[in-house]
Structure 1
Amino acid sequence: MKFTGVYLVVVLLVAVFSSTVVNSCPPSDREALLAFKSALNEPYLGIFKTWTGTDCCSNWYGISCDPTDSRVNDVVLRGESEDKIFEKAGRSGYMTGSLSPSLCSLDRLTTLVVADWKGISGEIPACITSLPHLRILDLIGNQLTGKLPADIGKLGKLTVLNVADNKISGEIPSSIVNLARLMHLDLSNNQITGVLPADLGKLSMMSRALLNRNQISGSIPSSIAGIYRLADLDLSMNRISGSIPAQLGSMPVLSTLNLDSNQLTGQIPVSLLSNTGLNIVNLSRNSLDGYLPDVFTPRTYFSVLDLSFNKLKGAIPKSLSSAKYIGHLDLSNNHLCGSIPMGFPFDHLEASSFTNNDCLCGSPLMRVC
């Protein structure tokens, strides 16, 4: 019995020790997080005050671990949230400092979100591309500078890349086309220059590509049309030139196309306005010329069709009256001429949709035909 009692005590101690090891994060993960914390200053919410104790898997704000081995999987810190800590403070978050390369020691990381803190600056650590399991990288809404890591294509499992609303500069790395699982790409509102990779179409899983409000130049790669799942393409407010690839009009699920405020020339592809899946099309503030394609049918459905501030000429196609729905239509500031068709959708549009053309007449303009 004595042997059995000692044996049971040993078994229990081993079990307790094993439980302690399994249920608390490794010291290396904890040290990496504390080094990350030390490079940041969050003065209002006190979220880092929860980062105490030896177990970073337990009640550390924004930290989640794998239940099987207690390795840190997720770092999710959002400066705008409905979390109670924000409600109690009565404000959104503000954080300064930089992103410490110590994050790269968290080699089991699948999600890294440090978003909407407004004051975090410095560069994205280049070593971030060494995280083999990273699926989500969301750094939107900070003051990050420098370039995207050149070898970002090494993140083979990445599905979301969002660095919008920062001060990222330089060109889009050519390796980005190797992100075979990427679904959501948002580089908008930065200072990115250079051209779009010619083989951007290799991102075959992508459903949203938002690159607006940058300084991107060159032409629109026709390879984009090969991205079968792409539903939302926004290249507006850049310096893109050349013509609009006709292939964009054959994309099966594309519903939103924003190309406004660029330097595009040539004619509007017939395929673009005859694509019955497109819902929002904004081609305004370019140098597009030629005639408006007369390709509208009872299946045409546009919530927004903005072709203003171009060099379009000729008459407004009468077939536009047969459209199932046209919500917002803007043909102003072109060289259009002739009478404005009667009936829907023209009967609910204001004069501002047709002003500053060469010789348009009829309702709702005050010019009689």
Structure 2
Amino acid sequence: MSTLVWLIGMAISFSVTMPVNACPPSDRAALLAFKAGLHEPNLGIFKSWTGTDCCNKWYGITCDSLTKRVADINLRGESEDPIFQKAHRTGYMTGSISPAICKLERLSSVIIADWKGISGIIPPCISSLPSLRILDLIGNQISGEIPFNIGKLRRLTVLNLADNKLTGRIPRSLADLSSLKHLDLRNNMISGTIPRNFGKLRMMSRCLLSGNRIYGPIPETISYIYRLSDLDLSLNRLTGPIPDSLGKMSVLGTLNLDGNLISGKLPATLINSRISILNLSRNAIEGNIPDVFDSRSYFMVMDLSYNKLKGSIPKSISSASFIGHLDLSHNHLCGAIPAAEWFEHLEATSFMYNDCLCGKPLKACS
């Protein structure tokens, strides 16, 4: 073998085995097009976006160590980074998210959060990023609808779109996000019903949908999400009864349904469930408080205020392990307040504005 052939062979071998040294020009061009759609006047976070290698000290950009493809965009308007501390302020950015972001085909996480002024829509093409695991756009002014085919992101574990101006419905395809663990759509203008196929989200542990315009019933299928520990559907327009099955969920610890139009009776299953924070206030729940408290009943918070509950406070409530904050005010309860060791710290406001409750901490029963 001649020396020339050997050198050519070594060069080819080297080019295959050695990682590239800089990000591809296509990724750099996509980032610069993304940057062109945004305006950040105060901190100068884009000043580092210079040079040919977008993997080298470009603020908020991380690349895969082997392929040098852009893997993460992490831009937060509230950060402990020195650039924020030096300016003594949080960030403010305007503009919109360019569809050019979708040309970064190897993206694993997109965090463009808490900039307060970013508007426009979520580029529909975001659903075409096969490796995306985190999409966090909280705290902006983003409008429009959640992309209808969001369910194509089968690796997505975090979807956080809270505190924006999103409208439209929750797309049915969202239930196809088989890896989703954290869903936060709070404080938008989302309407429509909760899709019936929501129970397919078997990996989800937190589901936060409060502060929207969601109406209709609470789907029974939510109880199929056996990993769910935190469910917040408060401040919506939900109607109908609370499914009994919610109280049978194995790890559900927080259930917030306050500020809806929920009716029907209070399910007995909620009283001795795993739930420790239960807020059902400001609804139209009627009937008696179930007399099923026992040693499994442990509540950091139990708020049943501003409903249509009647009858007496069940005597079995004295056998609960603990109730830290109890609010039964603004109902139609009557009779003597049972004595319980942990009732000693409760104030009169917990029982006021009922029909005829009496006993400590209210006036004595005659």
Q: TM (normalized to structure 2)? A: 0.96
1:204 aligns with 2:202: yes
CA contact (8 A) 1:146 1:170 kept: yes
- 1:132 maps to which residue? 130
Matching residue's letter, 1:207: S
C-alpha distance in 1 between matches for 2:120 and 2:306: 39
Q: 1:80-91 maps to which residues of 2 (within 5 A)?
A: 80-91=78-89
Q: 1:242-253 maps to which residues of 2 (within 5 A)?
A: 242-253=240-251
CA positional deviation for 1:345:
2.4
Match of 1:107 among 105, 108, 114: 105
User: What is the DSSP-based 3-state SS (H/G/I as helix, E as strand, rest coil) of the residue aligned with 2:132?
Assistant: coil
C-alpha distance in 2 between matches for 1:128 and 1:367: 64
CA positional deviation for 1:14:
8.0
C-alpha distance in 2 between matches for 1:274 and 1:343: 17
Matching residue's letter, 2:159: L
CA positional deviation for 1:21:
7.3
Q: 1:274-285 maps to which residues of 2 (within 5 A)?
A: 274-275=272-273, 277-285=274-282
CA contact (8 A) 2:272 2:296 kept: no
- 1:358 maps to which residue? 355
- 1:30 maps to which residue? 28
- 1:303 maps to which residue? 300
Match of 2:175 among 174, 177, 196: 177
Q: TM (normalized to structure 1)? A: 0.95
User: What is the DSSP-based 3-state SS (H/G/I as helix, E as strand, rest coil) of the residue aligned with 1:96?
Assistant: strand
Deviations 1:292-329, CA, capped at 9 Å, x for gaps: 01111123210000000000000001111111111100
Matching residue's letter, 1:195: T
User: What is the DSSP-based 3-state SS (H/G/I as helix, E as strand, rest coil) of the residue aligned with 2:299?
Assistant: strand
CA positional deviation for 1:19:
10
User: What is the DSSP-based 3-state SS (H/G/I as helix, E as strand, rest coil) of the residue aligned with 1:257?
Assistant: strand
- 2:334 maps to which residue? 337
- 2:40 maps to which residue? 42
1:230–1:46: structure 2 CA closer, same or farther, 3 Å change rule? same
CA positional deviation for 1:211:
0.2
1:86–1:19: structure 2 CA closer, same or farther, 3 Å change rule? farther
Q: 1:126-275 maps to which residues of 2 (within 5 A)?
A: 126-275=124-273
CA contact (8 A) 2:19 2:66 kept: no
Matching residue's letter, 2:165: K
C-alpha distance in 2 between matches for 1:228 and 1:259: 19
1:287 aligns with 2:284: yes
Matching residue's letter, 2:269: S
Q: Percent identity?
A: 60
C-alpha distance in 1 between matches for 2:99 and 2:286: 50
Specify every segment of 5 or more residues in structure 1 that has no aligned partner in the other structure, as ranges: none
Matching residue's letter, 2:324: G
C-alpha distance in 2 between matches for 1:193 and 1:322: 41
Matching residue's letter, 1:292: I
CA positional deviation for 1:176:
0.6
Q: 1:2-21 maps to which residues of 2 (within 5 A)?
A: none
Deviations 1:72-97, CA, capped at 9 Å, x for gaps: 00001011111111111111111000
Number of residues of Structure 1 aligned to a counterpart in Structure 2? 366
1:56–1:20: structure 2 CA closer, same or farther, 3 Å change rule? farther
C-alpha distance in 2 between matches for 1:246 and 1:13: 69
User: What is the DSSP-based 3-state SS (H/G/I as helix, E as strand, rest coil) of the residue aligned with 1:247?
Assistant: helix
CA positional deviation for 1:348:
1.0
C-alpha distance in 1 between matches for 2:285 and 2:118: 40
C-alpha distance in 2 between matches for 1:289 and 1:101: 50
CA contact (8 A) 2:149 2:173 kept: yes
